[in-house]
Amino acid sequence: MANVGGIDRILRFVVGIVLVLVPFVAPTVPALAGLGNWAWLIGAWGLAMVLTAAFRFCPAYPLLGINTCGK
């Protein structure tokens, strides 16, 4: 039932980790300090990306008819 493959999975994991760190780093970086509560929304989006990479399943892909897994 996997629909997230190879490069898609790696990109989701790397970008997801970066986005998860935003709420913790934003208050210390002047360019990101104005994000406020948006930083937590960005972090949640990152967590979703990490989870879809870990489970190799994206719930939106079946709705869009996408499958990046090489099956």
Q: Region 38-51: what's the mean pLDDT?
A: 97
For residues 42-68, give the mean pLDDT. 96
Mean pLDDT of the 16-34 span: 93
DSSP string covering 14-69: HHHHHHHHHHHHGGGSTTTGGGTTHHHHHHHHHHHHHHHHHHT--THHHHHT---S
Question: Residue 8 has which token pair?
Answer: 């898609």
Concatenated DSSP letters of 48-59: HHHHHHHHT--T
Rounded Cα gap, residues 66 and 9, in angstroms: 14
Whole-structure pTM value: 0.89
Per cent of the chain over pLDDT 70 is 99
Instruction: Render pLDDT for 31-42 as a digit per residue (tens, 0 to 9).
Output: 888 998 999 999
